[in-house]
Chains A and B, each alone.
Chain A
Amino acid sequence: MTFAGLAFSYLRRRWGQALLAVMVGALGMAAVVTVLVGFDALPRAARQAWGGVDLVVGPKGSALDLVFCCALHVGEPRGLVSVEAATRAVHTPMIRAAAPIALGDNVDGWRIVGTIPLLLDIYHARFASGGIWSDKLQAVAGATAARELRIQLGDSFIGAHGLADSDEKHDKFPYKLVGILEPTGSVLDRLVLTDIETVRYVHLEQAKVEKAERGSSEEDETAHGPDAASAVVASFRVPTGALLVQRQIDAQDGLTAANPSFEIARLLSYARPLTVAVTGFGLLLMGIAAAAATLGLLAIMSARTRDLALLRALGASRAGLATVALCEAAMIASAAFALGVLLAAGLLALARDVLLVRTGLLLQPELDAGQISLLLGGTVLATLLAAAIPALRAMRTEIEELLQS
Chain B
Amino acid sequence: MNGRGTTAVLTTRGVTLARNARTFASLPDLDLVPGQSLAILGASGSGKTTALLALAGIRAPAGGEIAVAGVALWRLPAHRRDRFRGQRIGLVFQSFHIVDAVSVAANVALAARCAGLPNDASRIHSLLQRLDIADIARRRADRISHGQAQRVAVARALVNRPAVVMADEPTSALDDGNAAALLALLKDTAAAEGAALVIATHDRRVIDAVDSSVTMQAVA
Stretch at the interface among A146-154, A256-264, A313-321: A313-321
**Interchain nearest-CB distance for A312 vs B (Å):** 7
Q: Is A402 an interface residue (CB 8 A)?
A: yes
**How far is B86's CA from A316's CA once the two chains are assembled, in angstroms?**
8
- Check if B82 sits within 8 Å of A13, measured CB to CB: no
Residues of B within 8 A of A400 (CB): 53, 58-59
In chain B, positions 166-190 with a C-beta closer than 8 Å to chain A are 168
| Residue among A3, A313, A320, A400 with the highest chain B CB neighbour number at 10 A | A313
Residues of B within 8 A of A405 (CB): 95
| Residue among B83, B101, B168 with the highest chain A CB neighbour number at 10 A | B101
- Check if A311 sits within 8 Å of B110, measured CB to CB: yes
C-beta contact mask, A1-29 vs B, less than 8 Å → 1, else 0?
11101100110110000000000000000
- Check if A311 sits within 8 Å of B114, measured CB to CB: yes
**How far is B54's CA from A400's CA once the two chains are assembled, in angstroms?**
11
**Interchain nearest-CB distance for B184 vs A (Å):** 24
- Check if A314 sits within 8 Å of B111, measured CB to CB: yes
Measured CB to CB, the nearest residue on chain B to A13 is: B101
Residues of B within 8 A of A314 (CB): 86, 91, 110-111, 114-115, 156
**Interchain nearest-CB distance for B22 vs A (Å):** 18
Residues of A within 8 A of B97 (CB): 306-307, 310, 402
Residues of A within 8 A of B86 (CB): 314-316
Residues of B within 8 A of A6 (CB): 99, 101-102, 106, 110
Measured CB to CB, the nearest residue on chain A to B86 is: A315
**How far is B101's CA from A306's CA once the two chains are assembled, in angstroms?**
13
- Check if B109 sits within 8 Å of A1, measured CB to CB: yes
Q: Is A212 an interface residue (CB 8 A)?
A: no
- Check if B119 sits within 8 Å of A1, measured CB to CB: yes
CB < 8 Å neighbour of A10 from B85, B91, B101: B101
Residues of A within 8 A of B116 (CB): 315
Q: Is A288 an interface residue (CB 8 A)?
A: no
- Check if B58 sits within 8 Å of A1, measured CB to CB: no
Residues of A within 8 A of B101 (CB): 6, 9-10, 12-13, 307
Measured CB to CB, the nearest residue on chain A to B97 is: A310
Measured CB to CB, the nearest residue on chain B to A321 is: B114
Main secondary structure of the interface of A (DSSP, over half): helix
* Given A315-B85, A400-B53; A1-B102 close (CB under 8 Å): yes
Determine the interface band of chain A, counting residues with CB < 8 A from chain B: 20 to 34
**Interchain nearest-CB distance for A167 vs B (Å):** 69
- Check if B49 sits within 8 Å of A403, measured CB to CB: yes
Residues of B within 8 A of A312 (CB): 82
**How far is B119's CA from A6's CA once the two chains are assembled, in angstroms?**
14
Measured CB to CB, the nearest residue on chain A to B108 is: A1
C-beta contact mask, A186-225 vs B, less than 8 Å → 1, else 0?
0000000000000000000000000000000000000000
Residues of A within 8 A of B156 (CB): 314
- Check if B59 sits within 8 Å of A1, measured CB to CB: no
**How far is B95's CA from A3's CA once the two chains are assembled, in angstroms?**
23
**Interchain nearest-CB distance for A133 vs B (Å):** 76
- Check if A403 sits within 8 Å of B168, measured CB to CB: yes
Residues of A within 8 A of B94 (CB): 403
**How far is B111's CA from A316's CA once the two chains are assembled, in angstroms?**
9
Q: Given contact pairs A9-B106, A311-B110, A314-B86, enumerate 11 new A-B contacts (beta carbons under 8 Å).
A: A6-B99, A307-B97, A307-B101, A313-B58, A314-B156, A315-B115, A315-B116, A317-B82, A399-B58, A400-B53, A403-B168
Q: What 6 A-B pairs come out closest when comparing CB atoms?
A: A315-B86, A314-B114, A316-B114, A315-B115, A1-B109, A1-B106
- Give the A-binding residues of B (Cβ under 8 A): 49, 52-53, 56, 58-59, 79, 82-87, 91, 93-95, 97, 99-102, 106-107, 109-111, 113-116, 119, 156, 168
| Interchain residue pairs with CB less than 8 A apart (27) | A1-B102, A1-B107, A1-B110, A6-B101, A9-B101, A13-B100, A307-B99, A307-B101, A310-B93, A310-B97, A311-B110, A311-B114, A313-B85, A314-B86, A314-B110, A314-B111, A314-B115, A315-B84, A315-B87, A316-B82, A316-B113, A320-B114, A399-B58, A402-B97, A403-B58, A404-B49, A405-B95
